[in-house]
């Protein structure tokens, strides 16, 4: 594995270490293409900023720091700067324009919520047997793919649906078909592997294998050590073999503005 486009920084308030430590860890382990994709800065309509995102006041520092390090290490590694961002139907156009204005070169889609994080809105990862919530999650991902703005879908199995497996499989097939149609890969997320989260979910990836949707890997690094996660890489490769996945390797970046 010579690539990883899913890397966070301390600015999101749930990651540790410095950017230079991440870069050195990646270089030492053979990563040639690296992307920083910290959580997109977003001010909700009620005026509050989510605590898991880069604060708007730190966006300039985020880009300045990584641009300087990109120049310093350009002979050893190719670094891109972007965001992990949700697709909120009511807010997307403004979010996309802001991402471009800030200087993002690419986006990956991480649908932690399906609407802005106002009081009472539950995250996608909250256990739920609601078919409507599942369908809304898949709707958002399919619509997000159709925009052409996202390089890939981070932890697409984040939705923690506890209802009927048949309903779940039907909806995931719909996501897979959109993934093929719009050529937007689905990520096997290494954070989920190394922390034993509810994802990767076996039924999800079994369905992905049947549908032959494109698949890629992402370290989802929130610590220096995770900037190269060899243990999870072994497990991800086992998943590719077990479910006969259409692993495409390094995704083709969809650069904003092109």
The CATH number that applies at residue 78 is 3.20.20.140
Is 124 inside a domain boundary? yes
Does 127 map to a domain?
yes
Q: Is residue 256 part of a domain?
A: no
Span 201-222, mean pLDDT?
Answer: 98
Mean pLDDT within 12-41: 98
pLDDT digits (tens, 9 = 90+) for 69-109: 999 999 999 999 999 999 999 999 999 999 999 999 999 99
Tens digits of per-residue pLDDT, 105-133? Answer: 999 999 999 999 988 899 999 999 999 99
Q: Which of 215, 220, 169, 170 lies closest to 194 in space, CA to CA?
A: 220
Per the structure, the complete domain to which residue 82 belongs is given by 3-247
For position 179, what pLDDT does the model report? 98
Beta strands in 72-129 (DSSP E): 78-85, 106-109
Rounded Cα distance, 250 and 240, in Å:
14
Give residue 50's pLDDT: 87
Backbone angles phi, psi at 133, to 5 degrees: -65, -40
Percent of the chain with pLDDT over 70: 100
**Total domains in the fold of the chain:** 1
C-alpha 227/C-alpha 197 separation (Å) is 19
Per-residue model confidence (pLDDT) at position 131: 98
Across the range 242-258, mean pLDDT stands at 95
Mean pLDDT rounded to a whole number for the chain: 97
Q: Taking the CA atoms of 221, 224, 229 and 232 in sequence, report the sign of the dihedral they define.
A: negative
- pLDDT score of 119: 86
Q: Which of 224, 191, 221, 219 is nearest to 17 (CA)?
A: 224
pLDDT digits (tens, 9 = 90+) for 47-69: 999 889 999 999 999 999 999 99
Reading the block at residue 18, the tokens are 């410095």
CA nearest neighbour of 224 among 64, 3, 2, 29: 29
Q: Shortest CA distance to 40 belongs to which of 26, 56, 23, 16?
A: 56
State pLDDT tens for residues 212-233. Answer: 999 999 999 999 999 999 999 9
In a domain, 257, yes or no: no
Give a yes or no: residue 222 inside a domain. Answer: yes
- Edge to edge, what strands does the sheet with 106-109 contain? 3-4, 33-39, 78-85, 106-109
Bond prior to 119 in cis (omega within 30° of 0): no
Q: Which pair of tokens denotes residue 214?
A: 């494109």
Tell me, what DSSP letter sits at residue 56?
G
Asked whether residue 190 is domain-assigned, the answer is yes
254 found inside a domain: no
Q: What is the pLDDT of residues 166-194, one digit of tens each?
A: 999 999 999 999 999 999 999 999 999 99
């Amino acid at each position: 594995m010579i690539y990883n486009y899913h890397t966070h920084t301390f600015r999101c308030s749930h990651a540790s270490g410095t950017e230079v430590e991440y870069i050195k860890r990646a270089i030492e382990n053979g990563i040639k293409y690296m992307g920083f994709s910290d959580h997109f800065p977003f001010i909700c309509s009620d005026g509050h900023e989510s605590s898991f995102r880069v604060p708007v006041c730190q966006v300039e520092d985020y880009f300045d720091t990584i641009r300087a390090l990109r120049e310093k290490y350009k002979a050893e590694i190719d670094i891109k700067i972007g965001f992990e961002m949700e697709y909120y139907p009511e807010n997307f156009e403004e979010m996309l324009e802001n991402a471009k204005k800030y200087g993002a070169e690419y986006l990956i889609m991480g649908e932690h919520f399906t609407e802005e994080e106002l009081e009472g809105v539950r995250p996608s990862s909250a256990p739920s047997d609601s078919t409507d919530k599942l369908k809304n999650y898949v709707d958002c991902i399919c619509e997000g793919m159709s925009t052409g703005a996202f390089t890939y879908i981070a932890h697409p199995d984040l939705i923690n649906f506890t209802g009927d497996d048949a309903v779940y499989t039907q909806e995931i097939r719909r996501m897979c078909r959109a993934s093929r149609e719009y050529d937007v890969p689905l990520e096997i997320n290494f954070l989920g592997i190394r922390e034993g989260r509810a994802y990767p979910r076996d039924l999800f990836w079994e369905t992905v294998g049947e549908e032959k949707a494109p698949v890629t890997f992402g370290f989802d690094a929130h610590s220096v050590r995770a900037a190269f996660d060899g243990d999870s890489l072994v497990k991800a490769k086992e998943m590719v073999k077990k479910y006969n996945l259409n692993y495409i390797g390094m995704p083709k970046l969809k650069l904003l503005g092109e």
